[in-house]
Structure 1
Amino acid sequence: MIEARNLTKTYGQKTAVNDITFTVRPGIVTGFLGPNGAGKSTTMRMIVGLDRPTAGRVTVNGRYYAAHTSPLSEVGALLDAKAVHTGRNAENHLLALAATARIPKRRVHEVIELTGLESVARKRVGGFSLGMGQRLGIAAALLGDPQTLILDEPINGLDPEGVRWVRSLVRGLAAEGRTVLLSSHLMSEMAVTADHLIVLGKGRVIADSPVADIIGGASLVSVRVRSPQASVLASTLASPDVTITHAEHDMLTVTGLDPRTIGDLAARGGIALHELTPISASLEEAYLQLTNDDVEYRTGASARNLEVSR
């Protein structure tokens, strides 16, 4: 279990993490989300003792990270897959880590097999692809067979098979009763991997809830409407606050009106409806709504126009 209480970190005049409190519980996959600059990386660094809190505290399994007699057996972390001596091969890198924690050599070979690194185990890390570097970082995190796992962007650079493998891995570890904290910017993957989400915005916790609750709390995005009089219905529903797209000749996607209002307006106009289905928000849409006021770095209008022109 990871417990943060009134955790704060400042760098000069900038507050990176501002009095946050949360608990990452065992037995579930907890997603750790937030826009760039929200304080996620700083928080994870404080969990494993790489940064010292300005105020507050964070413990793993009831102790500060540095107080554990065998930290690698308590906490496995992937914070920067590139933090490896590029002149070493993968096997030697893991053997060196194992030696510092008195982990037997057989465990090195176990994690090499588990992460699919057998074919490159004796190749220099400097020649690794991004995906292979991620696998090596995960192998290092798993080396001590820890009860707590912290992974920052573990699927970055992985192919579809690798993404599925990471998903199965973290869910399997959580099912064993371990604590898993997983950070990623890929909302589609987080939606099918995480059970619970902690969302930061400008250094504060803005959500700490199950995934289903966060999606359910988002405002209705759109309604799918099917009618043999789709064009007439579109004219009936048209207003400055309503967006209507023609998905098919007899189907509309309506944003800005709820199903009840659409049904009432259609009935008044004598327009037949064959389908009226609310389309729930995706995790990405819910996340964007949630963090809309907490994005520190926004795309400029010129960049958006460039994307549209392409």
Structure 2
Amino acid sequence: MIEAHDLTKRYGSKTAVAGVSFRVEPGTVTGFLGPNGAGKSTTMRMIMGLDRPSGGSVTVNGKPYAQHRAPLHEVGALLEAKAVHTGRSARNHLRALAATHGIPAKRVAEVIEMTGLGSVAGKRVGGFSLGMGQRLGIAAAMLGDPRTLILDEPVNGLDPEGVRWVRGLVRHLADQGRTVFLSSHLMSEMAITADHLIVIGRGRIITTGSVREVIDRTSGTTVSVRSPQSGALAQALVAKGGEIVSSDGDLLSVRGLEAAAVGETAAANGVVLHELTPTQASLEDTFMTLTAGDVEFQTTTSQSGVSA
């Protein structure tokens, strides 16, 4: 378990993390979301004892990371995949880490096999691709068979097979009762991997909850309904408490009413329907809505459709 209480980090006059409190429970995959500069990496570094908090506290499995006698057995982390001596082979890098905790060579071989590094384990890390570097970072995080796993952008640089592998790995670890805390910019992947979300912006927590709770709370459900009598239907739906989000010919987009209520309203008013489809916002759309005012660099779209 990871517990943060009023965790704060300042760099001079800049506050990177401002009094955040949260709990990452065992047996769940908790996604940590936020735009660039939101404070995700700083928070993860404080959890790992790499940055000293300016205020508040954070513990892993009941203690600050530095107080664990054998930290690799408590928490494994991937924060910077390239933080490896480029002249070492992957195998020697893992052996050096294992030696600090008396971890046997057998376990090194196991994580090499687990992460698909067998064919390149004897090669120097300096020649690794980004994806291979990510796999090595995950292997290092898993070396001590830890109860808690912290992964910062673990699928960055991985091909589809690698992304699917990471998804299966973290789900398997959570199913074993371990604590899994990960960040990712791939919203579609987070939507199907995470059990719980923590969304942060400008160093403050914006919202928390399950994926469905966060989406429903922010965006809700929209119903697409098509009718040759769209004008009459729109009036009836508004009278029923619905909101017409958009109208395009005979197609209406309605918010505030469930699909069943839209159909019943149409039937009660003698309106013919050609289509009735409930649609829920994606996690990506919800994330953009939640963090619209918290991005460091805001792009705009010109009339030509090119971002600037």
Tell whether the structures are fold-level matches, with TM greater than 0.5: yes
What amino acid does structure 2 have at the position aligned with 1:276?
L
Q: Secondary structure at the match of 1:292?
A: coil
Quote the residue 1:21 is aligned against.
21
Q: Equivalents in 2 of 1:93, 1:174: separation in Å? A: 27
- Asked whether the 8 Å contact 1:244–1:255 carries over to 2, the reply is no
Q: Which residue of 2 aligns with 1:177?
A: 177
Is 1:243 the counterpart of 2:246 in the alignment? yes
Q: Does 1:10 align with 2:10?
A: yes
Deviation at 1:281, TM superposition (A): 1.4
> Aligned pair in 2 of structure 1 residues 117, 47: CA closer, same or farther (>3 Å)?
same
Distance 2:76 2:21 in 1: 22
TM-score by length of 1: 0.88
**Cα displacement string for residues 266-293 of structure 1 (whole angstroms, at most 9, x for unaligned residues):** 976x641033222111111222222223
Displacement over 4 Å in runs of 4+: 234-238, 255-268
Q: Which residue of 2 aligns with 1:62?
A: 62
Q: For residue 187 of structure 1, what is the amino acid of its counterpart? A: M
The residue identity in structure 1 corresponding to 2:230 is: L
1:99-139 deviation digits (Å, cap 9, x = unpaired): 12221111100000000000111111111111111101100
User: Secondary structure at the residue paired with 2:37?
Assistant: coil
Query: Does residue 233 of structure 1 match 2:236?
Result: no
Please state if 1:191 is matched with 2:194: no
Output the CA distance in 2 between the equivalents of 1:303 and 1:170: 43
Return the letter of the residue paired with 1:52: R
| C-alpha distance after superposition, 1:186-232 (max 9, x if no partner) | 110001100001111111111121222112212346422244x3xx6
Matched letter for residue 201 of structure 2: G
Q: How does 1:284-299 map to 2 (within 5 A)?
A: 284-299=284-299
Match of 2:43 in 1: 43
Matched residue type, 1:28 = T
Q: CA deviation at 1:51?
A: 0.2
Q: What is the rounded CA distance, in whole Å, between the counterparts of 1:263 and 1:9 in structure 2?
A: 54
Identity across matched positions, percent: 64
Does the Cα contact within 8 Å between 1:35 and 1:294 map onto a contact in 2?
yes
8 Å Cα contact 1:224/1:254 also seen in 2: yes
State the partner residue of 2:150: 150
* Mapped partners of 2:155, 2:251: distance in 1: 36
Cα distance in structure 2, aligned partners of 1:295 and 1:158: 25
- Aligned mates of 1:297, 1:59 — CA distance in 2: 32
Residue number in structure 2 paired with 1:206: 206
3-state DSSP of counterpart to 1:158: coil
Unaligned regions of 5+ residues in structure 2, if any? 236-243
Give the number of equivalent residue pairs: 300
Alignment check: 8 A CA contact 1:75 1:148 kept: yes
Contact 1:10 1:54 in 2 (8 A): yes
Q: Quick check: 1:218–1:281 contact (8 Å CA) kept in 2?
A: no
| 1:159 matched residue in structure 2 | 159
Aligned to 1:38, what secondary structure does the other structure show? coil
Note closer, same or farther for the CA distance 1:93–1:26 as it changes in structure 2 (3 Å cut): same
CA distance in structure 1 between the aligned counterparts of 2:267 and 2:295, rounded to whole angstroms: 39
Q: Which residue number corresponds to residue 253 of structure 2?
A: 254
Q: RMSD in angstroms over aligned alpha carbons?
A: 2.7
Aligned pairs for 1:69-80 within 5 A: 69-80=69-80
